[in-house]
Amino acid sequence: MDSLTTNPFLLWLAISVAVGALAWTFLRNELRTRAILYSSFLVACFVSMWPLQEKLKLGLDLKGGMHLILKVVTDDALRATVSDGVSLASSELGRAGMPGAKVMGADIDTFTVEGIEPARAKDARTTLKDFFLSTEWNLNETPAGFSLKLTDPYKRVLKEQTVQESIRTLERRVNVLGVAEPVITAHGSTGDQILIQLPGVTDVVRAKDMIKRTAQLSLKLVENEASTREMLLAPGQTEPPPTMEIVTGAGSEPGTRAFYLVRKEAVITGRDLKNARPSISPETGLPDIQFSLTPTGAQKFGQATGDNVGRRLAVILDGTVESAPVINSRITDSGVIQGTFSQEEADTLAKVLRAGALPATLSFLQEQTVGASLGRDSIRSGVLASAAGMGFITLFMLFYYRLSGVNAVVALSANLLILLGAMAYAGATLTLPGIAGIILTVGVGVDTNVLVFERIREELRSGKTVKTAVNNGFDRVWITILDTHATALIAAAFLFQFGTGAVRGFAITLVWGLVANVFASYFVSKFLFEWVLGERKADTLSI
Amino acid sequence: MLEILKNPNFDFLGKTKYFLALSALIILGGLGFMLGTGMYLGAGARGYGVEFSGGTQLIIKFEKTPEIDRIRSAVAEATIQTYDAPAKNQVIVRLAAADETNLDEAANRAKAAIAASYPENRIIESSAEIVGPTVGADLRQKAVQLTVWGLVFQLLYITWRFGGAIWGAAATLAVFHDVLVALAFLAFFNYEITLNVIAALLTLVGYSVNDTIVIFDRARENLKLKKKDPLEKILNDSLNQTLTRTLISNGTTFLAVLGLFLFGGEVLRGFGFTMVIGILAGTYSTIYIASPIVVWWQKRQAGRVPSA
């Protein structure tokens, strides 16, 4: 029901079916029922597409903007997991009374444990088995000790998580840019690519910087928290004092958003961090992140936390507050970030803090930027070419088929109306090749009309009455129209597989155009003939 | 009733061999030309757009008319040409393959060099397309795969609808003919194969099959009506019966894509050109390639099994 009320197209579709059913019940007249059904459907399309400028999304090639394909170096995630494994194994083996164990990374997905006394091998094995799940790690005995290798399913999970986390991080960064309708999705068949589309972005350099930059973590002292920005400002002021700034993010209550007034100067930043790893808080049992600081970082942090016990400290990542815990005591070389993290989020945040802001390195595979005026030029030429083509076709049909030509032009207009309505409804993007697709749709639409009209003429020549000729014309041509449209749809479906960008826009218009065409150039056109010929006894047909 | 042709009765299938020779000439000439000039074919072939070959392509819009020679001296390793109408003050700069570790470095360097050596003519706007080698190679492979699969499915559909593989095979061979002819002309006129051109080629595949089906459908209908007539006569009659439709439909579509080619701007020019050639080839191949193949096959079968 929700989609019915929010979506004008579906609403109108429902109304038109209802109206059609009512008309049939009361009128018992097939022609009038069809008239009502068709026209309410066309009204639905009109409602869906109007106003066109707002409803139809323009592609990057027309609007200007940028399109990036990035590759996530998922091997980074494997390396990080192995290095976590190394530190966990050595500390746990040490705690189990085997401090002499030598644990080191052997390969991108493997680490080894050596130097265990033969007598303790069994204990070491038990310890390792306890801390390294068999679904994640394959534990093998080697001549020198043990080796632990990531399992293939777990590697896949890690890679997938890395890509998903990278997407989330990129979304956070792109949001800072304030782009309307950005697209950030996984891309391609290899599973490690991300597509970013930023329509209308003109400041390409800034956008790319935003995406590429690393580690933007800072911890800042909180002055005040509120649910709106205005509540944080002094009366009559529109900006915070020069030493302060306002940032948004997670509120103190789980699941809420809040505004924070914080000191502009950061207590520490990502650079002061030495290491970070996920853990479980002994007090709350919730996942958190333990971090350790560099010597200079520890000095700064110790000073600031010592002076501000009882106040809150905002953990700001890429401009968004992740949490704002209270400082309980002076913290020097290590601390804990508590928040409402899931285990997975804590893992990622730790990785992010360690590696920079992204869980893995990104490399750029493809970049496309289109200047806004070049886009405008393209629209102008595309529309000009379409208008020229359509104008010519209209004139020709009117000239050659006379009144039946009017029928064809009405059908063509209905075709375009349905095509644009469906595209607006589906949120499809119009690209420059898409405009070309519309022209081809018009071509195929005309072909349907011509096929029918020529057949009607043939029937008339062989001496049939007007009504019989029209009926036979439409009947005989139906199979041909079905076959031609089906094969064209097959071609369009494969075009659609081409992935993103301009070609997909073309395939979309082609598919919708073909469907619209069967309705408009066959059914609407047939109805128009029957309606005009319906009441009176026609001897001649203007065709 | 306004008519282009009154009861046309041309002997299309009687002159098949001349046209087959013409098609062979164009296709072989095209392939020879491609090999001779190193376009499209062979290792390290040129003539592919940046999205397939990888590399950097910049379109730069200047305040005033740019002097190509001065830009050329600023970025020596690039090819530089005027882009679109001269009044738009645009140039296109192409640089060799982009480096995936630092994708936009070459582009930025070129832009900076041009801006520095040409300070009095400001760059108003620029567009860039930078494609690393991975994406280019992926896309090339995908284009070929998708075209082949598209053809296979169309072949299956036609075979199913017409109850005989020969109809599907004939339509498919006609499509191959059209794609090869279009490629030959693209090579003759030195067009780059871009994504848009591939889109046009795939559209052409659909369009050409369309045209063939209209005539085959008519032949199917005639086969039921006149069981005694030889297939050759039936196909020739079908071609004549649908000739007016062929002229009008293909004529109007031809003019529409001609409009795209002439007025569609720089981006759509390759698309328009491919479609212009493709519609001509598609119309021609239905008559002189697809239909003769069906007739030839039927005669061969009849020769083998005389009692049928």
Distance CA A172, CA A472 (A): 62
Distance from CA of B131 to the nearest CA of A (A): 4
pLDDT at A507: 84
- The pLDDT tens digits for B133-146 are 777 777 778 888 88
CA dihedral of residues A527, A529, A535, A536 (deg, nearest 10): -170
Distance CA B241, CA B219 (A): 10
Interface touch A381/B214, C-beta < 8 Å: no
pLDDT at A287: 84
Does the pLDDT at position A76 exceed 50?
A: yes
For chain B, percent of residues with pLDDT exceeding 70 = 97
Chains A, B: CB contacts within 8 A come to 227
Distance CA B112, CA B270 (A): 30
First to last CA, chain B: 44
Please report the residues numbered 459 through 518 in chain A whose beta carbons come closer than 8 angstroms to any beta carbon of chain B: 460, 476, 479-480, 483-484, 486-488, 490-495, 497-499, 501-503, 506-507, 510
Instruction: Please report how the helices A372-426 and A8-27 are oriented relative to each other, as an axis angle in degrees rounded to 10.
Output: 40
Does the pLDDT at position A2 exceed 60?
A: no
DSSP classification of residue B223: H
pLDDT at A296: 78
Identify the bridge partners of residue A268 per DSSP, sorted by sequence position: A219
DSSP classification of residue A370: E
How far, in whole angstroms, is CA A306 from its chain's centroid? 45
Residue range A438-452: mean pLDDT, rounded: 88
SS3 content of chain A, % helix, strand, coil (to 5): 55, 20, 25
pLDDT at A9: 62
Write the DSSP string, A419-457: HHHHHHHHTPEE-HHHHHHHHHHHHHHHHHHHHHHHHHH
- The set of residues, in sequence order, having a beta carbon less than 8 Å from that of B121 and lying 6+ positions away, is B62, B63, B64, B66, B67
What does pTM read for this prediction? Answer: 0.75
Does the pLDDT at position A191 exceed 50?
A: yes
Highest mean pLDDT among A50-59, A125-134, A321-330, B136-145: A125-134
pLDDT at A3: 46
Interface touch B146/A443, C-beta < 8 Å: no
pLDDT at A180: 73
- The set of residues, in sequence order, having a beta carbon less than 8 Å from that of B183 and lying 6+ positions away, is B30, B34, B40, B201
Does the pLDDT at position A6 exceed 50?
A: yes
pLDDT at A216: 60
| Mean confidence (pLDDT) of chain B | 86
Extents of the domains making up chain B:
13-45+135-304, 55-131
pLDDT at A4: 46
ω before A51 within 30° of 0 (cis)? yes
Residue range A299-328: mean pLDDT, rounded: 83
* Exposed/middle/buried for residue B169 (C-beta within 10 Å: 0-12, 13-18, 19+): middle
Minimum Cα–Cα distance from A381: chain B residue:
B264
Q: In which residue are the tokens 């992140």 written?
A: A289
* Residue A4 structure tokens: 């019915």
* Residue A448 structure tokens: 């349907």
Interface touch B138/A188, C-beta < 8 Å: yes
For chain A, percent of residues with pLDDT exceeding 70 = 91
Interface touch B256/A510, C-beta < 8 Å: no
Write down how long chain A is.
Answer: 543
Interface touch B127/A402, C-beta < 8 Å: no
- The set of residues, in sequence order, having a beta carbon less than 8 Å from that of B287 and lying 6+ positions away, is B12, B215, B239
Which of A188, A384, A451 lies nearest to residue B214, judging by beta carbons? A451
Does the pLDDT at position B152 exceed 70?
A: yes
Span of A67-81, A306-320, A344-358, B244-258 with lowest mean pLDDT? A344-358
Q: In which residue are the tokens 């073309």 written?
A: A506
Q: In which residue are the tokens 């979309």 written?
A: A508
pLDDT at A240: 84
Does the pLDDT at position B308 exceed 60?
A: no
Sort out which chain A residues have CB atoms less than 8 A from B60's CB and list them.
Answer: none
Does the pLDDT at position A148 exceed 90?
A: yes
- What is B13-45+135-304's CATH number? 1.20.1640.10
Residue range A45-65: mean pLDDT, rounded: 82
- The set of residues, in sequence order, having a beta carbon less than 8 Å from that of A535 and lying 6+ positions away, is none
Range B55-131 classified under CATH 3.30.2130.10: yes
- Reported ipTM: the value is 0.85
Distance CA A253, CA A230 (A): 20
Which candidate, B242, B280, B241, places its Cα nearest to that of B258?
Answer: B280
Does the pLDDT at position B164 exceed 60?
A: yes
Q: Are B278 and B178 in contact (CB under 8 A)?
A: yes
Distance from CA of B305 to the nearest CA of A (A): 31
Interface touch A366/B61, C-beta < 8 Å: no
Which residue of A190, A366, A503 to mutate against B (max B Cβ within 10 Å)?
A366
Which residue of B194, B202, B208, B244 to mutate against A (max A Cβ within 10 Å)?
B202
Tell me how far CA of residue B178 lies from CA of A195, A288, A343, A495, in angstroms: 34, 64, 59, 18
Q: Do domains B13-45+135-304 and B55-131 have the same CATH topology?
A: no
Using a CB–CB cutoff of 8 Å, tell me whether A436 touches chain B. Answer: yes
Q: Which residue has the higher pLDDT, B297 or B41?
A: B297
Q: Which residue has the higher pLDDT, A209 or A444?
A: A444
Interface touch B264/A371, C-beta < 8 Å: no
Tell me how far CA of residue A201 lies from CA of A180, A369, A541, in angstroms: 9, 9, 56
pLDDT at B307: 44
Sort out which chain A residues have CB atoms less than 8 A from B268's CB and list them.
Answer: 381-382, 385, 432-433, 436
- The sign one gets for the Cα dihedral A381, A386, A387, A393 is positive
Interface touch B130/A366, C-beta < 8 Å: yes
Does the pLDDT at position A354 exceed 70?
A: no
Is residue A369 classed as helix, strand or coil in its secondary structure? strand
- The pLDDT tens digits for B171-197 are 999 999 999 999 999 999 999 998 888
| Mean confidence (pLDDT) of chain A | 83
* Exposed/middle/buried for residue B31 (C-beta within 10 Å: 0-12, 13-18, 19+): middle
Strand A57-58 relative to strand A429-430, pairing: parallel
Residue range B201-216: mean pLDDT, rounded: 88
pLDDT at A499: 60
- The set of residues, in sequence order, having a beta carbon less than 8 Å from that of B172 and lying 6+ positions away, is B151, B154, B155, B158, B209
Q: How confident is the model at residue A5 (pLDDT cuts 50, 70, 90)?
A: very low
CB-CB neighbours of A265 under 10 Å: 12
Does the pLDDT at position B151 exceed 50?
A: yes
Q: Which residue has the higher pLDDT, B90 or A358?
A: B90
Distance from CA of A533 to the nearest CA of B (A): 18
Q: How confident is the model at residue A475 (pLDDT cuts 50, 70, 90)?
A: very high
DSSP classification of residue A312: B
Identify the bridge partners of residue B193 per DSSP, sorted by sequence position: B48
Residue range A389-417: mean pLDDT, rounded: 91
Tell me how far CA of residue A413 lies from CA of A113, A339, A389, A470, A521, in angstroms: 75, 58, 14, 21, 10
Which of A369, A454, A491 lies nearest to residue B203, judging by beta carbons? A491
Sort out which chain B residues have CB atoms less than 8 A from A502's CB and list them.
Answer: 195-196, 199
pLDDT at B188: 94
Please report the residues numbered 22 through 51 in chain A whose beta carbons come closer than 8 angstroms to any beta carbon of chain B: none
- The pLDDT tens digits for A105-119 are 888 899 999 988 888
Which of A208, A374, A493 lies nearest to residue B125, judging by beta carbons? A374
* Residue A247 structure tokens: 């940032």
Sort out which chain B residues have CB atoms less than 8 A from A208's CB and list them.
Answer: 104
Which candidate, A342, A438, A180, places its Cα nearest to that of B264?
Answer: A438
Which of B2, B84, B128 lies nearest to residue A368, judging by beta carbons? B128
Residue range A329-358: mean pLDDT, rounded: 71
- A319 phi and psi, to 5 degrees? 80, 5
- The set of residues, in sequence order, having a beta carbon less than 8 Å from that of A85 and lying 6+ positions away, is A111, A132, A137, A148
Residue range A477-503: mean pLDDT, rounded: 83
Interface touch A389/B260, C-beta < 8 Å: yes
Distance CA A271, CA B110 (A): 34
pLDDT at A12: 67
